[in-house]
Amino acid sequence: MNAKRLTIVGVALTATAAAAYAQFGGYTQANLSSTATGKTFLQVINDLNVRYLYPVDQEKLLRGAITGAVGSLNDEFTYYSPPEDNAIDAENLSGEFYGIGVQLVAANPDGTGGKIDNVFRTGAASTAGVQIGDVFVKIGDKDVLTAKLNEIVRLVRGQKGTTVSVTFARDGKPYTVKMERQPVSIVSVEQTVLPGNIGYIALNTFYNEKASEQFNAAVADMKKKKVGSLILDLRDNGGGLLSAGVDVADQFMKSGPIVSLRDRNKNTTVYGSARNAATDYTGKLMVLVNKNSASASEVVSGALQDVGRATIIGEQTFGKGVAQIPETLPDGGKIAIVNSEWLTPKGRQIHKKGITPDVIVKDTRYTVPPNLTGSGVAPGAKLTFTLEGKPVTVTADKDGKFSYTGDIKRPNRSAQQGEAVVDLQTDAILKKAVALLGN
């Protein structure tokens, strides 16, 4: 990643924050009291502290006010992260932390709980015999069956050399292992060579300060292997650092703007331009996208589409065409504020529109899981159904309602970080890209 660009972003953040404070003077009790709404806010806070029957948690009260202020904008991309979440976020951004060497997904339909999605070959979990599909039950003495995923991550990670005791469930049977936290590096790039001497690089996230470095190394490796053409897979990549998106697009473009930023005063500035370099890949290029390709993924695919450098294949992308400025707050939390929209080289604004692929193909890697709901039975009653040839037992709740959602088909992942696993038979988008490269 280009360190100078990161510095420019940091300088812009500082200047913007200072200008905003100078313009509005900052909220104080004095100027809040100058308006009816401000007086009301102060009175509500005071009345809660004086009159509420139970003790008021001041931290919780003020965080609620912060969350409400940000929420009033009705902008999903402007948000506040409390200190505990921001700490995890900072580790993810750095690309390094101490943990047990696994990837997690939510275990429950409502997004809570944690389940092992992958076990890295060299991590503590692999040594302890943890397997894909194992469900987190307890971390230490804390029950986490319905905990938020971020809380599970926070409890599993820790300081170098410390240990963590985790109780997992496998096929409904619990087991407990004690593991020493070891260094874990987030590898955002996976690669392999497909039949026909076609290079394949999947970039899973741009939210990693090492993403550019890892991607550049993968491209160099493909050139060393003398692949005849290249597929860049940006499916399910929700974006991240704008500078990393510029770096990736720059690997394939010789010159010209990659992305421009336009502020609320309609002033437009070129954020990143291509630089012709000997390390650039100049061969035939296909870029894969789906409905979850967003933000920096759309910066890359939009730029390469505009200049005719690549064929974009897959589904209409997500449509996040705005950029945020993050600011670390005094409490250790973070606020990310949408401060500009970004434009492709041809001036396209793709927010809430997305990018239309040159070749539209449905992503067939995931299937809709079987699910059922019902009611009208006795509370606590157990019902057994046969779904796809297997018995499924559900228990009715206190109102006699029951539901079941099967597991979403999980794509195969390698236990070796950086190694891509693909299946041309079940992946229609990838199959189409390979076919087009063969013509």
> What pLDDT is attached to residue 3?
35
- pLDDT of residue 154 exceeding 70: yes
Report the percent of the chain where pLDDT is more than 90: 79
Tell me: do 301 and 198 sit in the same domain.
yes
Tell me: do 220 and 263 sit in the same domain.
yes
Task: Please tell me the total count of domains within the chain.
Answer: 3
> What pLDDT is attached to residue 348?
97
Q: How far apart are CA 251 and CA 317, in angstroms?
A: 21
Please pick, among 188, 293, 295, 297, the residue that the annotation labels catalytic: 295
Please pick, among 233, 306, 363, 427, the residue that the annotation labels catalytic: 306
Beta bridge partners of 400: none
Tell me: do 239 and 300 sit in the same domain.
yes
Please pick, among 115, 320, 334, 432, the residue that the annotation labels catalytic: 320
Domain end among 132, 157, 185 = 185
Tell me: do 272 and 149 sit in the same domain.
no
Tell me: do 243 and 347 sit in the same domain.
yes
Q: How far apart are the first and last CA of the chain?
A: 35
Assess whether 375 carries a catalytic annotation. Answer: no
- Residue 269 domain-assigned (yes or no): yes
Domain end among 185, 202, 229 = 185
pTM for the model stands at 0.86
Q: 30 pLDDT band (50/70/90 cuts)?
A: low
- Residue 21 domain-assigned (yes or no): no
- Residue 412 domain-assigned (yes or no): no
Tell me: do 103 and 207 sit in the same domain.
no
- pLDDT of residue 158 exceeding 90: yes
Q: pLDDT per residue over 259-308, tens digit each? A: 999 999 999 999 999 999 999 999 999 999 999 999 999 999 999 999 99
- Residue 168 domain-assigned (yes or no): yes
Tell me: do 162 and 209 sit in the same domain.
no
Q: pLDDT per residue over 318-357, tens digit each? A: 999 999 999 999 999 999 999 999 999 999 999 999 999 9
Domain end among 135, 161, 185 = 185
Kindly report the three-state secondary structure assignment for every residue of 346-367. Answer: CCCECCCCCCCCCEECCCCCCC
Tell me: do 109 and 250 sit in the same domain.
no
Q: pLDDT per residue over 185-219, tens digit each? A: 999 999 999 999 999 999 999 999 999 999 999 99
Q: How far apart are CA 361 and CA 343, in angstroms?
A: 25
Over residues 242-262, mean pLDDT = 97
Q: How far apart are CA 93 and CA 344, in angstroms?
A: 25
- Residue 316 domain-assigned (yes or no): yes
Q: pLDDT per residue over 423-434, tens digit each? A: 999 999 999 999
- Residue 58 domain-assigned (yes or no): no
Tell me: do 171 and 269 sit in the same domain.
no
Query: Do 94 and 157 meet the contact criterion of CB atoms below 8 Å apart?
Result: no
Parent domain of 251: 189-362+425-438
Tell me: do 129 and 237 sit in the same domain.
no
- pLDDT of residue 415 exceeding 80: yes
CATH no. for residue 109?
A: 2.30.42.10
Q: How far apart are CA 30 and CA 45, in angstroms?
A: 15
Assess whether 295 carries a catalytic annotation. Answer: yes
Q: pLDDT per residue over 356-398, tens digit each? A: 999 999 999 987 777 888 899 899 999 888 877 888 888 999 9
Q: Where are the alpha helices (DSSP H) in 182-241?
A: 211-224
- Residue 388 domain-assigned (yes or no): yes
Tell me: do 306 and 217 sit in the same domain.
yes
Tell me: do 336 and 355 sit in the same domain.
yes
Decide: helix, strand or coil at residue 4: helix
CATH no. for residue 351?
A: 3.90.226.10
Signed CA dihedral, 103, 107, 112, 113: sign only: negative
- Residue 347 domain-assigned (yes or no): yes
Q: Are strands 115-119 and 102-105 parallel, antiparallel or unpaired?
A: antiparallel
